[in-house]
A and B are shown apart, each in its own frame.
Chain A
């Protein structure tokens, strides 16, 4: 589904990603861990198509297409979804209005008819219950005045409504209490299918107890320096990244 080869990217003149290789197949769950500033969010934003990040080398193929050649909105319509680490606020645009617009824009891209406001509400009812998101919250402006947890839950809600093929979750589990964490896990598990894949960026293995990853990767200084299974996540949480650093240094010597 996704093939990242030798990806180099920079922001404001600084090279952040320095040769990332990663292959994700449909049906798989991958997790990326790594110390602060290692480039996890940068990778996520590059996948979603943020223009502030400039790809200088390498390629990304998504379902046989050149992902880097597609606009962010095209990527979304093709099934790429990013749950933001820091979701933005958009005063004046209601959550419901915006998501309805997004659903219709994606439908249009796929040559489907618009759905009206009533249908949209019907369609999203189940999802609202699933992620336990209040209708009152949804009638407010996008993320405006939301608590950290509410913002994250709102990202999961959008994901569940848009039903992406490749969902990238950038620290969606950070700063959540256990109930909210379960909601996130439920959101992911409800979407799990052989056609879908997940890339879960996290600092904690807590979420990974509910959503068991097939692979865990360590992103370190802009490169994936180690890959393993769920055990690696436990090890990282236990021992930190010091040993990774030492291993990495030994490897380059």
Chain B
């Protein structure tokens, strides 16, 4: 039985899938292969258990509080939990494309608006896809997100029962960004396991925005997995916006495989959550790929934001860039771990990685750990990391022109962060995040007026 207390004990999480009672949503449609996949994942999860700080990959991020919380799984669609009005106030406005709203991990069709899709573009919930798009799911689901050594991915695979499927056929374009708004309201600690699949065929294009928000300060765990298949010469942009409750936990894992000459961009903005783990694992699996991983974490209190990248180059002539910036205040802890793997065939790889951190208080911390694993001999790989404080000479310069101290500091911090925002192309998102960023900075309100 899945007891709903996954994570109570490290070694023996009671997680034996039966899929009878609680899984009514999918029981009717889900095929045999899917059960087999979940069963295997559950077994693997039971062997792995939740990671501890003894795990190399979790060295700086202690998830004891996740382990010690007894989470329940969502029961059925609970429409009415979140009102349409709330969605308008929580969500990002001004996006013209399809909007899919999930409440407690379940697709809520009443709150969503799909509109008419451009030719060759399909956007549907995972549950729906099991009826209409079985072959596609069977071909791709679980092919990128391996469960072998990632406990949270194994857990997601074992428990996921809803999410979004995006399919863009050859040469077509989704035109407008596809906006997925995840809202969680949990009276008791809740665990959601969203599972998204994005398949963009050759010469096609799509932008997908995953936004995680909470209207209240509840305790819950979002354990999301997204697989992205980028076809030859295709163009995919993915946004992860984490602005959940400061008591919430979020583990988001993005698995990507890029075909020849494709372009993939990932933007991660981590503002919320008590512990946030942002895993991004692109494989540049064709010649001439381009991959950009852009990230910004702005945290305070006792927040932990941990970004874990693994960029794997398998073919020649690919470029990858990782630009991550962190701003930590109070006792917050920012973690960046970026590994670049260059396989033997991946000659002429050009891989860059940079992680810059700004500490705004004595008790804030940043851990940064760039890693290179290179098996080819004709490659260009650079990485750099900085951890610093606000430059006092810059503050003095601004003050000497009449700008008060707090505003001057805020302006410098804002400038540091805005570089990450400027890389984003979807203006409603960029504008929204700019405003959210200012709300999070001391003296941000003054700055809003000045800028």
Contacts and interface: CB of A to CB of B under 8 A. Distances in A.
A interacts with B? yes
A72 interface: yes
Contact of B411 (A51, A72, A98): A98
A76 B399 contact: yes
A181 to B, nearest CB: 23
A225 interface: no
A72 B412 contact: no
A104 interface: yes
Contacts of A105: 401-404, 407, 450
B400 A49 contact: yes
Interface stretch (A23-31, A86-94, A232-240): A86-94
A72 B394 CA distance: 13
A236 B448 CA distance: 50
A90 B399 contact: no
B253 to A, nearest CB: 31
A11 B71 CA distance: 57
A92 B393 contact: no
Interface string A94-105: 000111111111
A52 B396 CA distance: 10
B78 interface: no
A90 B136 CA distance: 50
A205 interface: no
A73 B405 contact: yes
Interface string B130-171: 000000000000000000000000000000000000000000
A106 B398 CA distance: 12
Q: Which of the listed residues B394, B399, B416 has the most CB atoms from chain A within 10 Å of its own CB?
A: B399
Interface residues of A, number: 36
A50 to B, nearest CB: 5
Given A88-B394, A90-B397, A91-B419, A101 B405 contact: no
Q: Say which size band chain B's interface belongs to.
A: 20 to 34
Interface in B384-438: 391-394, 396-405, 407-408, 411-412, 414-419
A105 B443 CA distance: 13
Contact of B396 (A72, A92, A101): A72
A172 interface: no
Nearest to A161: B401
B392 A52 contact: yes
A49 B399 contact: yes
Nearest to A103: B402
B251 to A, nearest CB: 31
B412 A90 contact: yes
B403 A73 contact: yes
B28 interface: no
Contacts of A184: none
A241 interface: no
A109 interface: yes
B1 interface: no
B401 A92 contact: no
Contacts of B83: none
A71 B397 contact: no
Given A72-B396, A76-B399, A93 B412 contact: yes
A76 B401 contact: yes
B352 to A, nearest CB: 17
A13 to B, nearest CB: 18
Contact of B399 (A72, A91, A104): A72
Contacts of B416: 91-92
A100 B418 CA distance: 18
A109 B404 CA distance: 10
A71 B450 CA distance: 20
B396 A102 contact: no
A84 B397 contact: yes
A106 to B, nearest CB: 4
A218 interface: no
Interface in A67-88: 71-73, 75-77, 81-82, 84, 87-88
Nearest to B404: A73
A154 to B, nearest CB: 12
A162 interface: yes
A99 B397 CA distance: 11
B399 A101 contact: no
A114 B446 CA distance: 12
A158 interface: yes
B433 to A, nearest CB: 15
B399 A71 contact: yes
A97 B401 contact: no
Contact of A91 (B396, B405, B415): B415
B121 to A, nearest CB: 36
Contacts of B412: 90, 93
Given A49-B399, A105-B404, A92 B450 contact: no
A97 B449 CA distance: 12
B400 A76 contact: yes
B418 A71 contact: no
Contact of A88 (B397, B414, B451): B397
Contacts of B394: 88, 90
B403 A102 contact: yes
Interface of B: 391-394, 396-405, 407-408, 411-412, 414-419, 449-451
Q: Across chains A and B, which 6 residue pairs bring their CB atoms closest together, nearest first?
A: A92-B415, A76-B402, A102-B401, A72-B399, A106-B402, A101-B450
30 contacts: A49-B399, A50-B396, A51-B392, A71-B405, A76-B402, A81-B401, A82-B400, A84-B397, A87-B397, A88-B391, A88-B397, A90-B412, A91-B415, A92-B416, A92-B417, A92-B419, A93-B414, A93-B415, A98-B403, A98-B411, A99-B401, A101-B403, A102-B401, A102-B402, A105-B403, A105-B404, A105-B407, A142-B397, A158-B401, A162-B402
